[in-house]
């Protein structure tokens, strides 16, 4: 339900778990065990399992729209800035990779026009500034502006 938000938060550098569909009790237990904030669109979880001793912090995401979702998280203080990006697919930390090392993973045009690459050794994915996080950062800045105006 919040898969797009999870991918965005990972690219912003936040450690985000996106579990398979599961029971509310299991989601709460996992968030508690892993010390995570639980983001949900499910009002039932936030009403039933909200602030109580031992429960994880639950934030009910109010909107279906990604910029409003990010603005809400900026407004709560949980998202404050861009950190080192994580893999949007699997949440692993990314490692810098030189063009020579990336040559067998990328098309020639990309290699010829980019010089900074990040590699996910967990899922064998390469990101580069030109088409990924530079555009991504620019496209997500409105969330910070929205939160400031709210």
**Per CB under 5 A, 118 contacts Zn ion:** no
Closer CB to Zn ion, 5 or 58, in the complex:
5
Tell me: does residue 89 bind Zn ion (CB under 5 A): yes
Q: What is the closest distance, in whole angstroms, from the C-beta atom of residue 58 to Zn ion in the complex?
A: 27
* Residue 29 sits in the site that holds Zn ion (CB under 5 A): no
- Separation in Å, CA 82 to CA 10, 133, 144: 10, 10, 11
Least gap, CB of 46 to Zn ion (angstroms):
30
Q: How far apart are CA 135 and CA 126, in angstroms?
A: 16
Nearest alpha carbon to residue 119 among 140, 92, 81, 80? 92
- Considering the rule CB under 5 A, would residue 17 count as an interface residue with Zn ion? no
- β-pairing, 38-40 vs 95-97, is unpaired
**Residues near Zn ion (CB under 5 A):** 87, 89-90, 92, 120, 122-123, 125
């Amino acid at each position: 339900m919040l898969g797009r938000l999870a991918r965005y938060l990972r690219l912003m550098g936040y450690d985000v778990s996106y579990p398979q569909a599961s029971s509310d009790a299991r989601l709460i237990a996992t968030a508690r065990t892993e010390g995570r904030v639980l983001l949900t669109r499910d009002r039932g979880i936030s009403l039933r399992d909200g602030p109580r001793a031992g429960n994880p912090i639950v934030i009910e995401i109010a909107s279906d729209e990604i910029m409003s979702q990010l603005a809400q998280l900026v407004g709560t203080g949980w998202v404050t800035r861009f950190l080192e990006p994580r893999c949007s697919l699997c949440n692993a930390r990314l490692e810098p990779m030189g063009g020579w090392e990336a040559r067998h993973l990328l098309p020639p045009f990309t290699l010829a026009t980019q010089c900074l690459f990040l590699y996910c050794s967990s899922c064998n994915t390469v990101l580069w500034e030109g088409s990924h996080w530079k555009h991504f950062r620019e496209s997500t800045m409105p969330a910070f502006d929205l939160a400031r105006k709210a």
